[in-house]
Amino acid sequence: MRYRRCWLGLLAAASLWATPLSAARLKITLSNQEWPPYMGQSLPYDGILSRLVKEAFARGGVDVAYRYYPNNRALQSARNGLVDGSFGWAPSPDRMRDLLYTQPVLSARMVFFQRKDGRHDWNALADLKGLPIGVTTGNYYSDEFDRLYREGVLRTDSAPDDVTNLRKLLAGRVALFPIEQEVGRYLLASRFPASQASQLEAQDKVFWAAPLHVVIWRKHARGQELAERFNRGLKILKDSGDFDRLLSETRAACLAAGRKP
């Protein structure tokens, strides 16, 4: 009996030794920022993208905590290792020197908002020649948009922020305003009375899209493993149908929480 207990003990120990370290549940901290409805400390579930990232990591055996930074510091905190990573970033050669990229979670989709009583159809951006287009100072609207502006094809009218541009659109001072689709709809719901918001609509056509990735500090001791765990978890999330369900559920919750009477 004594030998049997000893043998069972050795088997238990062997099974522990055989368990790969990567199977252990990990805990990480990612930088977050204010970009509603995708990200935001006061939003339900911290926003649409925040929830999807946390759920995908959870299915890969990783628990995530968020640390909020101003926009210009959120990415830098991941690049210099103050946090394990960040999310909501498109790749660039400069960023990829310091960061590992996962599969994209979502894509930011740039569309034009317009008045419902002043629709403007187009096939190419150049077709919008001469129309006053609102732009927000410091925002990027794609290489093609910038080129057409420099060539004098597109006529722009600048404002300091997106809400001001939506007000200009309502007043008829600009014909179109380009903004990320989810962001535009959230701003209309949260910053404008329903009677005003109902006068505007997003065009169906996306003129520029940018993938939104999770990034991990390249010097992280388990950086590659974290990226692989996230990719596995994201696939599980999508294959199960939970991705689309959580996306719709969180979008609705954010709009309801921010909706202006």
The rounded mean pLDDT for the chain is 92
What are 93-134's pLDDT values in tens digits? 999 999 999 999 999 999 999 999 999 999 999 999 999 999
Lowest mean pLDDT among 7-11, 52-56, 80-84: 7-11
Q: How far is CA 232 from CA 24, 104, 132, 217, in A?
A: 15, 12, 46, 19
Instruction: Please determine, for residue 1, whether its predicted confidence score (pLDDT) is greater than 70.
Output: no
Q: Other CB atoms closer than 10 Å to residue 54's CB: what's the count?
A: 20
- Going by C-alpha positions, the residue among 169, 188, 179 that lies closest to residue 114 is 169
**How many distinct helices (H) and strands (E) make up the chain?**
10, 9
What are 161-184's pLDDT values in tens digits? 999 999 999 999 999 999 999 999
Give the pLDDT score at 5. 40
**Element (H or E) spanning 108, and its range?**
strand 99-115
What is the pLDDT confidence band of residue 2, given thresholds at 50, 70 and 90? very low
Instruction: Please determine, for residue 20, whether its predicted confidence score (pLDDT) is greater than 70.
Output: no
Model pTM score:
0.88
